[in-house]
């Protein structure tokens, strides 16, 4: 597979703060690629540099064969972007929005009308064509923003937290839809805070404090931060939580305490609790999830 995005030592400095620090990324053609990291980690700054909207202060980046710093306008014609806020005009109808965005992407006349009709059909928006976007439910607005981003048939689609607030069935439908796009040779990059679903990404990267902490498959990320997660049941949950929180950053899960810190084993937890006068506690182990790997990486 050829690379759609390639960066070498990509760097951005704001004042004295290095917000993107020598990041090397490779996104291959036709994959779903997850872009992970806490708020403020440098994800958006990186994306803005990749789109040529922000000049880098070091390193290089190419997207779809274009140099991001010099050829921003050319490459942006081949990219679709859906922000968290959907960026639609609420006082225009669905059809007016799509016609407007189509023109922005350089579509005109018959071609524009054909593309708008095709996307309205694909996203089941025909019956809402004349409704003001502001009057429609969130789910419909979401479909409309996706339709707008796909009008010019981009080679690369960037989605910022596309499933935030979506229910389970809608999420399943959405992932199936994305799968169809990549099968048709579009590359998809998405950011999300909901890690259980990123498992279906082909690959992902984790950015922490401006640095690339991991790049690889979801399974690879779990394996990069190995070891089980411990679940502790005791009739002194409150004090156990207090002690284990101070010592290992444990959290409460219902009436059990959860220790996810890497390298902490059952014997150590039992000893710590016993020291604190909690003799009766059962400690079980469950497999670490992608979310655990994320928290482990952020804490290390």
Partner 1 sequence: MSGTLARAALIKLRDVTVRHGRTVALDHATVTVKAGDSVAVLGPDGAGKSTLLRCLAGLVRPSSGKVESHLGDAGIGYAGSTFDLYGDLTVLENLSFFGRVRGMEREKLAERIEAMLSLTNLKGARDRLAGRLSGGMKKGLALGCALVHEPALLLLDEPTVGVDPVSRQELWDIIAQATAGGTALVFTSTYLEEAAHASRLLAMEHGRASETSSDRVIAACRDWSAWVVPVAEERTEVRARLAAVTHEPRVYLRPEGLTVLAVDEPGARELLATTVGAGFAGAALEQSAPTFEDAFVLLESGKASEPAAGAA
Q: Assess 232 for contact with partner 1 (CB under 8 A).
A: no
Residue 77 in the binding site for partner 1 (CB under 8 A): no
Residue 219 is classified by DSSP as H
Q: Does residue 193 interact with partner 1 by CB under 8 A?
A: yes
3-state SS class at 132: strand
**Closest among 276, 279, 280, 238 to 257, alpha carbons compared:** 238
Among the residue ranges 16-24, 73-81, 145-153, 172-180, the one whose residues contact partner 1 (CB under 8 A): 172-180
Residue in 135, 170, 282, 300 binding partner 1, rule: CB under 8 A: 170
Tokens of 244: 């284990």
The distance of closest approach from Cβ of residue 197 to partner 1 in the complex, given in angstroms and rounded to an integer, is: 10
Q: Rounded to an integer, what distance in angstroms lies between the CA atom of residue 185 and that of residue 187?
A: 6
Total residues contacting partner 1 (rule CB under 8 A)? 49
Write down the residue that tokens 């020291």 correspond to: 275
Q: Which region, judged by CB under 8 A, interacts with partner 1, from 46-54, 96-104, 145-153, 192-200?
A: 192-200
Contact status: 207 vs partner 1 (CB under 8 A): no
Q: Does 235 bind partner 1 (CB under 8 A)?
A: no
Using only C-alpha atoms, the chain has a radius of gyration, in whole angstroms, of 23
Of 75, 121, 64, 65, nearest to 98 by C-alpha is 121
Task: Report helix, strand or coil for 268.
Answer: helix
Q: Least distance in Å: CB of 259 to partner 1?
A: 12
**Does 216 participate in binding partner 1 (rule CB under 8 A)?**
no
Question: Does 189 engage in binding with partner 1 (CB under 8 A)?
Answer: no
Give least dist CB 299 to partner 1, A: 8
Spatial separation of the C-alpha atoms in residues 197 and 168, rounded to whole Å: 10
Q: Does residue 195 contact residue 39 with C-beta atoms inside 8 Å? A: no
Q: Which is nearer to partner 1, 81 or 294 (by Cβ)?
A: 294
Shortest distance, position 147 Cβ to partner 1, whole Å: 15
Interaction with partner 1 in 244-263: which residues (CB under 8 A)? 245, 251-255
Mark the segment that binds partner 1 (CB under 8 A) among 15-23, 55-63, 176-184, 263-271.
Answer: 176-184
Binding mask 96-135 for partner 1 (x = CB under 8 A): ----------------------------------------
Under 8 Å between Cβ of 37 and 208:
yes
Nearest-approach distance from CB 221 to partner 1, in angstroms: 12
Kindly identify the residues of this chain, within the stretch 47-76, that bind partner 1 according to CB under 8 A: none
Q: Which residue has 């700054």 as its token pair?
A: 45
CB neighbours (10 Å) of residue 148?
A: 27
As to burial, measured by CB atoms within 10 angstroms (0-12 exposed, 13-18 middle, 19+ buried), residue 137 is exposed
Which C-beta is closer to partner 1: that of 239 or that of 282? 239
Binding partner 1 by CB under 8 A: which of 42, 80, 102, 218?
A: 218
* Lookup: tokens for 15: 């004042």
Q: What is the 3-state secondary structure (H, E, C) of 159-212?
A: EECCCCCCCHHHHHHHHHHHHHHHHCCCEEEEECCCHHHHCCCCEEEEEECCEE
Residues of the shown chain interacting with partner 1 in the complex, contacts defined by CB under 8 A: 30, 37-40, 84, 137-139, 161, 164-170, 172-173, 175-177, 179-184, 193-196, 199-200, 218-219, 238, 241, 245, 251-255, 291, 294-295, 298-299
């Amino acid at each position: 597979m050829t690379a759609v995005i390639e960066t070498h030592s990509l760097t951005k400095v704001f004042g004295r703060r290095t917000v993107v620090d020598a990041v090397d990324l490779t996104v291959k053609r036709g994959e779903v690629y997850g872009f992970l990291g806490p708020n403020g980690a440098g994800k958006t700054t990186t994306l803005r540099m990749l789109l040529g909207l922000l000049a880098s202060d070091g390193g290089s980046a190419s997207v779809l064969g274009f140099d991001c710093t010099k050829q921003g306008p050319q490459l942006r014609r081949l990219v679709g972007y859906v922000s968290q806020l959907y960026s639609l005009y609420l006082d225009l109808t669905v059809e007016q929005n799509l016609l407007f965005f189509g023109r922005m992407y350089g579509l005109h006349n018959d071609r524009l009308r054909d593309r708008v009709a095709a996307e309205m059909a694909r996203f089941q928006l025909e019956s809402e064509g004349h409704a003001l976007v502001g009057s429609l439910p969130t789910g419909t607005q979401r479909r409309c923003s996706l339709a707008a981003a796909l009008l010019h048939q981009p080679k690369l689609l960037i989605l910022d937290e596309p499933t935030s607030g979506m229910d389970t069935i809608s999420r399943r439908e959405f992932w199936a839809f994305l799968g169809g796009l990549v099968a048709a040779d579009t590359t998809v990059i998405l950011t999300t805070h909901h890690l259980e679903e990123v498992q279906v990404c082909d690959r992902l990267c984790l950015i922490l404090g401006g640095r690339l902490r991991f790049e690889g498959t979801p399974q690879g990320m779990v394996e990069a931060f190995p070891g089980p997660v411990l679940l502790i049941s005791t009739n002194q949950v409150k004090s156990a939580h207090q002690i284990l929180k101070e010592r290992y950053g444990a959290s409460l899960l219902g009436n059990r305490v959860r220790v996810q810190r890497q390298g902490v084993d059952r014997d150590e937890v039992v000893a710590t609790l016993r020291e604190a006068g909690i003799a009766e506690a059962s400690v079980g182990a469950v497999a670490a999830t992608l979310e655990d790997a994320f928290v482990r990486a952020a804490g290390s």
